[in-house]
Chain A
Amino acid sequence: MAEQPMMSAGRKRLANVPDTEAKLKMLHYMKLVREIEDRIERKLYRQGRIVGGVYVGRGQEAISVGTAIHMQKDDVVAPSHRDMGVFLMRGITPQRIIAQYMGRRTGLTRGRDGNMHMGDMDYNVIAFVSHLGDNVPVAAGAALVFKQRGEKRVALCYNGEGATSRGDWHEGINFASIHRLPVVYFVNNNAYAYSTPLSVQMAIEDVAIRAEGYGIPGEVVDGNDVLAVYDAAKRAIDLARSGGGPSLVEFKTFRMTGHSAHDDAGYVPPELFEEWKKKDPILRLEETLISESVLTSAKRDQMQKECEKIIDDAVDWAEQQPFPAPEEVTRDVYYEG
């Protein structure tokens, strides 16, 4: 028999294949992302225990997890609002994240801001900038520092396809390309920017085409296949780290939810949800790992229970946390060292 296809049928051979430990780690984090977001969006938010809005990356978990797994300690990341996996993989605890969503003093912004509008430079996570695409020049600036100091560090930056229509996206990528900066730009092309479908966002099908106009590599990747994400991200990050300059990696995926928890996404044709449900990235990885005998259904269920327990504990912890005291209101407005 000819060589067994390494992955599920139809997938091309990938240059970078994670070892068993890495595969299970990615499965754990994807499940953990799903669990924390489900809990926040479908339970806590509806129970009125969340302060402000909720944005989740349901169906897009493979992207943040399959990319962030390659980060080294000193690398810097500028995530967007559907990249929960980045926060968790960088070591920010579910406790602090839920406290953030609940507006508590021990959340990442000490109750000053809500939901994904958080960062922590102790973990080299740049706080998400609300103005989509604004993190593109920010990440380029971080990468410029690495280049000027001769450090082998990289910056990763995430956006949706909607953000690519913004001037900041263009200015940042142009700057990074001229100066061959060690930065990788990931586009989560999830087909909708709030209610704007891709066809009204741009006159092209693949954002990655734009890479050519900046003289950098561009690639289209199945964003619901974490092994493909892992492979493409590794190549782009290695290139950046070795002085090869920035890349643009487009992940095709789908937003399996509204823009945020208040949005029923009635503007999305139901058959699109049906179609993409079949491509669920967690189920796909589980199937692959079971077929490779890396995973059993018992182990899968156990992993799920572990994630639920982590989030149960995190919610319990977060709810015990105090809200910020009114007299703290002027703290953290400006950087205080």
Chain B
Amino acid sequence: MANPSTSDTYTIDVPKGLVLDRTASLELYYFMALNRKLEERLSSLYRQNKVVGGLYSSLGQEACSVGSAYALERGDFFAPMIRNLGGLLVRGVDPVLVIGQYCAREIGPTRGKDLNVHFGWIDRGIVSPISMLASLVPVFSGIALEMKMHNKKNVAMTYVGDGATSTTDFHEGMNFAAVQKVPMIVIVENNGYAYSTPVDRQFNVKDFVVRAKGYGCYGEMVDGNNVLAVLDVIRRARARCVAGDGPVLIEAKTFRRKGHAEHDDAGYVPAALRAEWEKKDPLDAYRRFLSAHRVIASDQELAEIDAKIVEILDAAVDTALASPFPDPSTLMENVYG
């Protein structure tokens, strides 16, 4: 590797008991790299005024989205929040759809009616995010209740940020899920800031996961920048849920490396904090892992994956932008189901 590890280099390891073959290991890399490069591309489109509305980045949080979604199985339900683009990619959403959606084109899943990641795909177990943060928690407790009532061996998994935990819906949904012992996984992505509110103004505890006790459900904390740890913790959470042990609350420690959205320079975030988390970049750490554990023979293998991603994204941008804006005559279509 170009940068040999030093003692203060952030390194990740395989959690005990996690079994992962080479194909899966490289797929994790592919999705994280695709997540990052797709967002970089969207950022360029935003500056070209091609994106309609806001643009939300998950820079630095890709491991959390990708690792968690990768742990799901067929029939599971999932709903991303605004920084879980990676999860959508893992669940099979084509980048063309994402770009089409952000640019409000007809090819986008909502056909230009809604923006960014506000779309669902029920056939694939993807529920559309709800703008009111944490409102997905009671929704997912309901989906999980259905799974329990029909003895399905599936789980319903969704995400909230540290900020959304302060809302009504988070509390009511978690409590209901715990009482009913439903197979729900809620991942609290503690990324340090809720818009401009630092986490110490959001809750009065160091580790949010202690709240699991107050609901009487299982909770665990995970390094959200370690894709393997995230994958492992969600696989285990999934096994608990499927075994009927009730919901699981996961706190993933990570950091939002950009502003709340593209318009926000996040001047309120201390530079030292940003620098510290830059060193913990999940993609860089995973590259070092793949090399150190000889999953890849040389960096050339990753360069090939990167090149393939560039190719996919070039084509995706062309296809998406070739799609027209919705025709005004379609305005009333798809307003109701």
In the complex, the chain B residue whose C-beta lies closest to that of A211 is B214
Report Cα–Cα, A202/B175, bound state, in Å. 6
B246 at the interface (CB under 8 A from A): yes
Chain A residues with Cβ below 8 Å from B169 are 167
Give per-residue flags for A172-185: 1 if the beta carbon is below 8 A from chain B beta carbons, else 0. 00110110000000
The smallest beta-carbon distance between B173 and chain A, in angstroms, is: 9
B269 at the interface (CB under 8 A from A): no
B172 at the interface (CB under 8 A from A): yes
The smallest beta-carbon distance between A179 and chain B, in angstroms, is: 9
Report Cα–Cα, A80/B201, bound state, in Å. 29
Report Cα–Cα, A171/B168, bound state, in Å. 6
Interface pair A203/B181, CB less than 8 Å apart: yes
The smallest beta-carbon distance between A38 and chain B, in angstroms, is: 34
Report Cα–Cα, A168/B204, bound state, in Å. 17
Report Cα–Cα, A76/B246, bound state, in Å. 40
From B172, B203, B213, A209 is in contact (CB under 8 Å) with: B213
Give per-residue flags for B128-155: 1 if the beta carbon is below 8 A from chain A beta carbons, else 0. 0000000000000000000000000000
Interface pair B179/A166, CB less than 8 Å apart: no
Chain A residues with Cβ below 8 Å from B115 are none
A201 at the interface (CB under 8 A from B): yes
Report Cα–Cα, A178/B205, bound state, in Å. 9
Chain A residues with Cβ below 8 Å from B10 are none
One of A13-21, A213-221, A305-313 at the interface: A213-221
Within 8 A of A (CB), among B202-239: 202-205, 210-211, 213-217
Report Cα–Cα, A309/B172, bound state, in Å. 46
A145 at the interface (CB under 8 A from B): no
B166 at the interface (CB under 8 A from A): yes
Report Cα–Cα, A212/B167, bound state, in Å. 18
In the complex, the chain B residue whose C-beta lies closest to that of A178 is B204
A22 at the interface (CB under 8 A from B): no
Give per-residue flags for A132-171: 1 if the beta carbon is below 8 A from chain B beta carbons, else 0. 0000000000000000000000000000000001111111
Interface pair A167/B214, CB less than 8 Å apart: no
The smallest beta-carbon distance between A208 and chain B, in angstroms, is: 9
B88 at the interface (CB under 8 A from A): no
Size class of the contact patch on chain A = 20 to 34
Report Cα–Cα, A174/B202, bound state, in Å. 8
Report Cα–Cα, A202/B205, bound state, in Å. 22
In the complex, the chain B residue whose C-beta lies closest to that of A175 is B166
B287 at the interface (CB under 8 A from A): no
Within 8 A of A (CB), among B175-195: 175-176, 178-179, 181
Interface pair B179/A178, CB less than 8 Å apart: no
Interface pair B178/A167, CB less than 8 Å apart: no
Chain A residues with Cβ below 8 Å from B213 are 204, 209, 212-213
Chain A residues with Cβ below 8 Å from B214 are 204, 209-213
B171 at the interface (CB under 8 A from A): yes
Interface pair B216/A213, CB less than 8 Å apart: no
A329 at the interface (CB under 8 A from B): no
Interface pair B168/A202, CB less than 8 Å apart: no
Interface pair B205/A167, CB less than 8 Å apart: no
From B170, B181, B205, B216, A215 is in contact (CB under 8 Å) with: B205
A200 at the interface (CB under 8 A from B): yes
Chain B residues with Cβ below 8 Å from A168 are 168
The smallest beta-carbon distance between B180 and chain A, in angstroms, is: 9
- Beyond A212-B213, A213-B214, A214-B205, whether A203 also contacts B168 by CB under 8 A is no
Chain B residues with Cβ below 8 Å from A167 are 167-169, 171-172
Interface pair B205/A213, CB less than 8 Å apart: yes
In the complex, the chain A residue whose C-beta lies closest to that of B172 is A167
Report Cα–Cα, A212/B209, bound state, in Å. 11
The smallest beta-carbon distance between A33 and chain B, in angstroms, is: 31
The smallest beta-carbon distance between A290 and chain B, in angstroms, is: 41
Chain B residues with Cβ below 8 Å from A215 are 203-205
Most buried by A among B181, B215, B246: B215
Interface pair A170/B168, CB less than 8 Å apart: yes
The smallest beta-carbon distance between A314 and chain B, in angstroms, is: 40
The smallest beta-carbon distance between A135 and chain B, in angstroms, is: 15
Report Cα–Cα, A168/B169, bound state, in Å. 10
Chain B residues with Cβ below 8 Å from A177 are 203-204
Chain B residues with Cβ below 8 Å from A175 are 166
Report Cα–Cα, A168/B210, bound state, in Å. 20
The smallest beta-carbon distance between B330 and chain A, in angstroms, is: 37
The smallest beta-carbon distance between B190 and chain A, in angstroms, is: 14
Within 8 A of A (CB), among B244-261: 246
Chain B residues with Cβ below 8 Å from A201 are 179
In the complex, the chain B residue whose C-beta lies closest to that of A204 is B216
Chain A residues with Cβ below 8 Å from B176 are 165
Report Cα–Cα, A178/B201, bound state, in Å. 6
Report Cα–Cα, A202/B215, bound state, in Å. 7
Give chain A's interface residues, CB within 8 Å of chain B.
Answer: 165-171, 174-175, 177-178, 200-204, 209-216
Known: A170-B172, A201-B179, A210-B214. 9 other contacts (CB 8 A): A171-B167, A175-B166, A203-B215, A203-B216, A210-B211, A212-B205, A212-B210, A213-B205, A215-B203
Q: List 9 A-B contacts (CB under 8 A).
A: A167-B169, A170-B172, A171-B171, A178-B202, A201-B179, A203-B181, A203-B246, A212-B214, A213-B211
